């Protein structure tokens, strides 16, 4: 069952959504020639969430000790930054995909020879 109580998304819809997310930045650049406006708007909005202690829920990159890397998951944002991470219900395949992504990030980081303290910010 999904977050809103509906059945899991059919594979074709999930693949289309994944493709759209992967290429969203390219779409913005093709339409307006740059993406820095979006970056500025997101930065301003994040600042508002923190200063107003809004406890807003957004997907944001945060070091996740359970996975040992930074992942973007739905999180509650407020004055202290990430108040808590919300892990949505996932199918076994989705959970394996998330774990696989975390492992790929760890492998890439290990090739960079960064100090452990720096890896938590990546």
Q: Could you tell me how many residues make up the chain?
A: 122
Q: Is the pLDDT of residue 36 over 80?
A: no
Mean pLDDT, residues 21-45: 79
| pLDDT tens sequence across 47-93 | 999 999 999 999 999 999 999 999 999 999 999 999 999 988 888 98
- Give the angle subtended at the CA of 121 by the CAs of 15 and 77, to the nearest 5°: 70
Q: How far apart are CA 120 and CA 122, in angstroms?
A: 6
Q: How far apart are CA 74 and CA 86, in angstroms?
A: 5
Mean pLDDT, residues 21-50: 82
């Amino acid at each position: 069952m999904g977050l809103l109580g509906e059945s899991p998304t059919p594979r074709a819809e999930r693949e289309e959504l994944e493709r759209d997310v992967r290429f969203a930045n390219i779409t913005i650049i093709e339409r307006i020639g740059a993406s820095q406006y979006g970056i500025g708007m997101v930065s301003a909005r994040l600042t508002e969430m923190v200063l107003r202690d809004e406890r807003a829920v957004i997907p944001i990159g945060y070091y996740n000790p359970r996975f040992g890397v930074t992942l973007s998951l739905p999180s509650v944002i407020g004055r202290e930054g990430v108040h808590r991470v919300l892990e949505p219900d996932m199918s076994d395949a989705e959970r394996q995909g998330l774990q696989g992504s975390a492992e790929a990030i760890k492998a890439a980081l290990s090739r960079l020879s960064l100090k452990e303290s720096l890896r938590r910010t990546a």
